[in-house]
Amino acid sequence: MKNIANIITILRIILSIALLKIDMFSSLFFTVYIMCGVSDFLDGYIARKMNIESKLGSRLDSMADICLVISMFIIMLPVINISKYIVLWILTIVLVRITSIIIVIRKYNTFAILHTYGNKLSGFMLFCLPLVYNIMNTNLLASIVCVVASISATEEVIIHILSKELKIDISSIIEVLIS
């Protein structure tokens, strides 16, 4: 029972990879995709409620998020019609995220992605993309998500630069500025 949250997170990694083999936008695809989203909420909720949060669980959660994002980019980029400027914007966000990871590795000798409100919001918006993709203008939708993702990625880099210690569950840059 002590490892239930980590088991759920590992299941999300497996399901994220399985999405690559499922017909896009089929009912099975959406079922598995929504299971990934529910498991993302559930693992953290269970870990907090059962007081079994761990560094391993936090890292697994970040890895599961990365697996889902990469899987969805592989699945969606070939079929959605977005401008080359949006693609460049996405690549810029990825570079900022990689910069953040490099800072953490060099500064703290570990891998970590912060669980800020901005990162949670951009993650939720990214998760919603395939669900609303046929309803809205794709470039507008991608632009909205990119604005939020740009802000949260930049915030994370600034937090790492200003912080003296790694605090994965920091809510926002405000915590660093007032400490």
Separation between Cα atoms, residue 60 and residue 57, nearest integer Å: 5
User: Is 145 buried (19+), middle (13-18) or exposed (0-12) by CB count in 10 A?
Assistant: buried
User: Is residue 9 predicted with pLDDT exceeding 90?
Assistant: yes
The percentage of the chain sitting over the pLDDT mark of 70, rounded to a whole number, equals 100
Is 50 within 8 Å of 16 (Cβ atoms)?
Answer: no
pLDDT, averaged across the chain: 94
78: pLDDT confidence band, cut at 50, 70 and 90?
confident
The percentage of the chain sitting over the pLDDT mark of 90, rounded to a whole number, equals 82
pLDDT mean over 90-116: 96
Q: What is the DSSP letter of 20?
A: G
179: pLDDT confidence band, cut at 50, 70 and 90?
confident
Going 44 to 160 to 111 to 15, the CA torsion angle's sign is: positive
Separation between Cα atoms, residue 18 and residue 2, nearest integer Å: 26
pLDDT recorded at residue 84: 93
Separation between Cα atoms, residue 123 and residue 140, nearest integer Å: 17
Strands (E), the chain: none
Residue corresponding to tokens 């909720």: 45
What pLDDT digit, counting tens, does each position of 146-159 carry? 999 999 999 999 99
What pLDDT digit, counting tens, does each position of 18-65 carry? 999 999 889 999 999 999 999 999 999 999 999 999 889 988 999 999
136: pLDDT confidence band, cut at 50, 70 and 90?
confident
Full DSSP string of 29-58:
HHHHHHHHHHHHHHHHHHHHHTT---HHHH
CA dihedral 93, 99, 105, 108 (to 10 degrees): -100
Q: Position 88: which residue type?
A: L
| pTM of the full structure | 0.88
